Amino acid sequence: MTRASLRLGLLVVALVVVASISLLMGPADVSILSLISGTAPESARVIVTDIRLPRTLLALLVGAGVATSGACIQGLFRNPLADPALIGVSSGAALFAAGFLVFGGTFGGIALVGLPVAAFVGGLAATLLVLEVGRRGGTISAMLLAGVAINAIAIAGVGLFSYLASDLQLRSVAFWALGSVGGANWRGVAAACVIPVAIGLMWRDANKLNAITLGDAEASHLGISVAALRRRIVVLTAFAVGIGVSLTGVIAFVGLVVPHLVRLSIGSNHRVLIPGAALLGAILLVLADCLGRIVVAPAELPIGILTALLGGPFFIYLIVEQKGKLGI
């Protein structure tokens, strides 16, 4: 067994442990022995199956999707500081979500759409716009600059909607932007099941991502269509992150930090980097949800705050102490 396989196995075990803890953690005491033996009261079974299990699965799926997308975007752009937000997914979703929260009750047609659908459409629209600008510019730099511009426009739009919002609407916009799995249900989990499919499709391109890290010209000489690969990875990222953001709100730093942790511990080969990032991203978000439930109990702290508080300082450490290994 190789070192990479062993460490991936350890991540699987850690994910099972963290997910089990998430099912048992909360204001209501639930015994795992009583659940297994079938002697648990009906209320305990409802709490686990209808509340804790959906939010644990949703955090797991969204964390895996965001982290994997970050690993692929960093490899595709050959930029260790890139993350999915760079292509406009998160900001586009935030813009449409803010518009829905502020104007959804004003126009009946908008209200029928629903917040997750509005956020997903916004993320996908922003990504397609970035892709089109990048195609016309003809270079990867044009796509990156387009992403920066779209992010700035979307943030300005969110600010405008916040200015027009009432106090209650403003609170809703702010809470959604901080990220939470508190509203998880089985319908949301079913929608998030598309994320593993996107991860699998990205993993199929692992060898091509390894080649493109050498440069576009070298990848082309190996018979890889760089433009097609770029479009495919960006669209798959838009689906994985867009669906996740639409269901949980904006999750900060997971797509930026997790791929670096996996590279430092397992390696930069995308065939192990992608599954490693998916597992560690799932662990991190489930763990953040657990912490969010106990830090300010009985209230809940949005997971976006925790991921930013943990990820920001750690990423600064990575930049300062590990810049040689990170290639920056």
CATH at 241 = 1.10.3470.10
Q: What was the pLDDT predicted at 38? A: 64
pLDDT of residue 324: 56
Q: How many helices (H) and strands (E) does the chain have?
A: 18, 0
| CA-CA-CA-CA dihedral for 181, 186, 191, 193, to nearest 10 | 90
Sign of CA dihedral 43, 44, 46, 47: positive
199 pLDDT band, cuts 50/70/90, is very high
Q: How many CB atoms lie within 10 A of CB 125?
A: 18
**Alpha carbon 314 to chain centroid, angstroms:** 18
Q: Which of 80-84, 183-187, 317-321, 322-326 bottoms out in mean pLDDT, i.e. has the lowest? A: 322-326
pLDDT of residue 114: 73
What is the tens place of the pLDDT at every residue in 132-142? 887 777 667 77
Whether the predicted pLDDT of 304 surpasses 80: yes
- Amino acid sitting at position 111: A
Domain boundaries, position 319:
3-326
Q: What is the mean pLDDT of residues 38-52?
A: 74
Per-residue pLDDT reduced to its tens digit, 89-114: 888 888 888 888 888 755 555 555 57
* Predicted pLDDT of residue 94: 84
How far, in Å, CA of 62 to CA of 196, rounded?
9
Q: Is the pTM of this model over 0.75?
A: yes
List, as one string, the DSSP characters of 5-28.
HHHHHHHHHHHHHHHHHHHH-SSS
Is pLDDT above 60 for 4?
yes
Q: Who has greater pLDDT, 45 or 61?
A: 61
Lowest mean pLDDT among 10-19, 58-67, 102-111: 102-111
pLDDT tops 70 at residue 117? yes
Under a CB-based contact definition with an 8 Å cutoff, are residues 73 and 147 in contact? no
Return the pLDDT at 39. Answer: 65
Highest mean pLDDT among 32-41, 157-166, 235-244, 273-282: 273-282
More confident residue, 317 or 100: 100
Q: Can you list the positions of beta strands (E) in the chain?
A: none
Return the residue matching tokens 């508080």: 309
Look at residue 128 in the predicted model and tell me its pLDDT: 83
**What angle do helix axes 270-295 and 303-321 make, rounded to 10 degrees?**
130
Left if phi > 0, otherwise alpha if psi is -120 to 50, otherwise beta: which for 297?
A: beta
**Structurally, how many domains does the chain consist of?**
1
Q: What is the mean pLDDT of the chain?
A: 83
Query: Per-residue b/e over 260-297, b at no fewer than 16 CB within 10 Å?
Result: bbbbeebbbebebbbbbbbbbbbbbbbbbbbebbeeee
Checking phi first, is residue 38 left (phi over 0); if not, alpha (psi -120 to 50) or beta? left
Instruction: Look at residue 54 in the predicted model and tell me its pLDDT.
Output: 93
Give the residue-averaged pLDDT of 131-153. Answer: 79
For residue 36, the model assigns a pLDDT of 62
**Most trustworthy range by pLDDT among 146-150, 172-176, 208-212:** 208-212
